[in-house]
A and B are shown apart, each in its own frame.
Chain A
């Protein structure tokens, strides 16, 4: 399958007061194929959202490149960039704060169309079509966000992302603020739209169960680096990196038989800070299988099984 997105040596650091540097993204190399969902999982502060924003050029990188349909989006000038922007969209985590309370949902959905110079008759038709697409009554277009529930608002957020017929959508924790009985509806909708429109997703989540359900491949991020990237089935059945193994077992699953064994869960330490990350492999301070080498040298990703890449010295 052809790659829609190619990410090469992507780095992003933020300068903090006192000349300190926060290395949010620390050298990412991966690609996203046309029509697939790549899941990006990791704990808070690992650089998931920064990665999502870099891929849409909502942030400028410190180093590296992102190619979208063969074009390096960081080299594009404003005119060219504007031409491809409609194809790259984002869905945010919190539907309450990502929709303006002072705009009717019709206005929200119409806005991107207006910027593209589409006439008002066509805009109205499209707004109704978009609302129908996300299973919201089109006559509600003149209502304000406060009149909708969280699940409905998130569907409106999805409709907004769909307004200009994108080919790629960054889903940044799209169900994390929703109750489980509502979240499954959003996940179904995202899958449905993907198969109907041939969309490509970067699905960012801290919830491994949700990511496994949604993704074709999963990348595990830790302090700005990918520790493991593999097809979903392979990484779920047999996670290889010690961190992925810990992450997998830490997640509470709704089955008391499995969970009873985890009651004495043991993992040392916490995620280190991206301001002054550990030397060598970023995970070594928490790793029970660390070796001498892990302190000094950062491991390269190796293809341990077909398409299953692991960055860990255990696999050297």
Chain B
């Protein structure tokens, strides 16, 4: 079972050095993804979910970022300790990434044909005619109309949804084993989001690509994922199968998060979580959520809980579930 994982992240800890001190953005995060699986990482702004994504591929700006410790084993090789040259073999080839904002991720002064084609040139060392052919083929697969003509156009000539489709085309060009998608549809309108999500899911299922889908939207998680990790203040606080997390969330944060979401017209007041996430510049004592938790007891502010399996495949970081 163990070596079935395509990616295994262990004890990932990332700090940022700012003028206000050390920001402990990611604190001992661990998870694994199996081939073909879609894992959701869900959390609110500043919880460290994007930092996790960037750290895996070492795309984090260093400084101010620093990977303090941890491993990210991809097919048994640690991405965090290998040389930059070795990493190039994986990045954009076996592992690819989609970012939130397609406009800032695409180069405005190069045609989209050149940008998608670059992937084939760099990783597959194809000849020009073959690159062109594969590029057109790829754009067709992601649903760009008349791709033969449009490869000569620039990013600004495409709509937001089309640009994100181009990003998907670039990411899937080498038929990667793992795709990291960081809020891929957050900037898009709902109908376009639905189209792009369907497209991503279809392509990944067909190619057997595993996905780490980073999002703040529990609805997107429900539509796309097989498993989900909930992040809060740099920690993973819960991990479960998709059904279980919505049906029986264990962690008070997950419970609160799910109950915050309005569902239809109602006179009832919405639940909200008091307070704000903790400042990450101070060393944390106890559970990261303790300050906002309505169920805390004295122990929660003194000791840090560890992840433990409460029911089959459902892990939670909370003292309430200790025996």
Binding site for B on A (CB under 8 A): 43-44, 149, 151, 179-185, 187-188, 191, 206, 208-210, 212-215, 232-233, 236, 246-247, 249-256, 258-260, 262-267, 270-271
Q: B190–A251 contact, CB under 8 A?
A: yes
Whether the pair A232, B222 counts as a contact (CB closer than 8 A) is: no
Stretch of B48-56, B253-261, B309-317 lying at the A interface = B253-261
A181/B272 in contact, CB under 8 A: yes
**Are B264 and A236 interface neighbours, CB within 8 A?**
yes
In the docked arrangement, what's the CA distance between A271 and B193, Å? 12
In the complex, what distance in Å separates the CA atom of A179 from the CA atom of B253?
A: 13
CB interface residues, B 174-206, toward A, < 8 Å = 189-195, 197-198, 201-202
Instruction: State whether the Cβ of B3 lies closer than 8 Å to any Cβ in chain A.
Output: no
Contact status B243-A250, CB under 8 Å: no
Contact A188 B265 (CB under 8 A): no
Of A249, A254, A265, the residue contacting B261 (CB under 8 A) is A254
Q: Mind listing 9 A-B residue pairs with CB under 8 Å?
A: A43-B189, A181-B257, A181-B273, A182-B272, A184-B261, A184-B272, A254-B218, A263-B198, A270-B159
Q: Chain B residues with Cβ under 8 A from A149's Cβ?
A: 276
0/1 string, B289-309, CB within 8 A of A gives 1: 000000000000000000000
Q: Provide the residues of chain A in CB contact with B159, threshold 8 Å.
A: 270
A251 cross-chain contacts in B, Cβ below 8 A: 190, 219
B residues touching A (Cβ–Cβ < 8 Å)? 44-45, 159, 161-162, 189-195, 197-198, 201-202, 216-224, 242-243, 246, 256-258, 260-266, 269-273, 276
Chain B CB within 10 A, most for which of A208, A214, A236, A265:
A265
Q: How far apart are A290's CB and chain B's nearest CB, in angstroms?
A: 16
In the complex, which of the residues B191, B197, B221, B256 contacts A43, with contact meaning CB atoms closer than 8 Å?
B191
A16 to chain B, nearest CB (A): 16
CA distance A252 to B161 in the complex (A): 17
Select B256's contact among A181, A187, A213, A253, beta carbons within 8 Å: A181
Q: A188-B270, A252-B194, A270-B161 are in contact. List 17 more A-B contacts (CB 8 A).
A: A43-B191, A179-B44, A180-B260, A182-B272, A182-B276, A208-B190, A209-B262, A212-B262, A213-B266, A214-B262, A232-B265, A246-B191, A247-B191, A250-B191, A259-B222, A259-B223, A270-B192
Contact A252 B223 (CB under 8 A): yes
Residues in B with CB closer than 8 Å to A184 are 260-262, 270-272
- Give, as a whole number of angstroms, the nearest-CB distance from A220 to chain B: 12
A267 touches B194 (CB 8 A): yes
* Residue of B190, B202, B216 ringed by the most chain A CB atoms within 10 A: B190
A253 to B221, CA, bound (A): 9
Q: How far is the CA of A300 from the CA of B273 in the complex (A)?
A: 45
What residues on A are CB-neighbors of B218 within 8 Å? 180, 252, 254
**Cβ-neighbour of B195 out of A256, A260, A267 (below 8 A):** A267
Q: Give A148 Cβ to nearest chain B Cβ, in Å.
A: 10
Contacts of B220 in A (CB 8 A): 252
Main secondary structure of the interface of B (DSSP, over half): helix
| Cα of A247 to Cα of B198 in the assembled complex, Å | 15
- Chain B residues in 8 Å Cβ range of A253: 219, 222, 263
Question: Across the interface, do A213 and B276 meet the contact criterion of CB distance under 8 Å?
Answer: no
Per the bound structure, the CA–CA distance linking A183 and B220 in Å amounts to 18
Most B CB contacts (10 A, CB to CB) among A236, A256, A259, A271 go to A256
In the complex, A233→B217 CA distance in Å?
24
Chain B residues with CB under 8 A of A249: 194
C-alpha spacing A70/B246, complex, angstroms:
49
- Residues of the B chain whose Cβ atoms lie less than 8 Å from the Cβ of A191: 269
Interchain CB contact (< 8 A) of B269 among A181, A188, A212, A246: A188
A236 & B262 in contact (Cβ 8 Å cutoff): no
Contact, CB under 8 Å: B262 / A213: yes
With A and B bound together, what is the CA distance between A183 and B224 in angstroms?
Answer: 24
Q: Which of B195, B224, B246, B276 interacts with A151 by CB under 8 Å? A: B276
Shortest Cβ distance from residue B237 to the other chain A in the assembled complex, whole angstroms: 13
Nearest CB of chain A from residue B35's CB, rounded to whole Å? 19
CA distance A260 to B242 in the complex (A): 11
CA–CA, A48 and B279, complex, Å: 36
Taking CB atoms, residues of chain A closer than 8 Å to B44 are: 179-181
Contacts of B202 in A (CB 8 A): 264
Within the assembled complex, what's the spacing in Å between the Cα atoms of A255 and B217?
Answer: 12
Q: Which residues of B contact A181 (CB under 8 A)?
A: 44, 256-257, 260, 272-273
* Contact residues in B for A250 (Cβ distance below 8 Å): 190-191, 193-194
Partner of B242 from A151, A256, A258, A271 at Cβ < 8 Å: A256
| Complex-state Cα separation, A185 to B292, whole angstroms | 14
Complex-state Cα separation, A262 to B198, whole angstroms? 9
Identity of the chain A residue whose Cβ is nearest the Cβ of B243 in the assembled complex: A256
User: A258 CA to B260 CA in the complex, in Å?
Assistant: 19
A residues in contact with B216, CB < 8 Å: 179-180
* Cα–Cα, bound, A188→B161 (Å): 33
Contacts of A213 in B (CB 8 A): 262-266, 270
Question: Quick one: closest B residue to A208, CB to CB?
Answer: B190
Query: Complex Cα distance A255/B202, Å?
Result: 20
List the 4 closest pairs (A to B, CB-CB), nearest first.
A252-B219, A213-B262, A184-B270, A43-B189
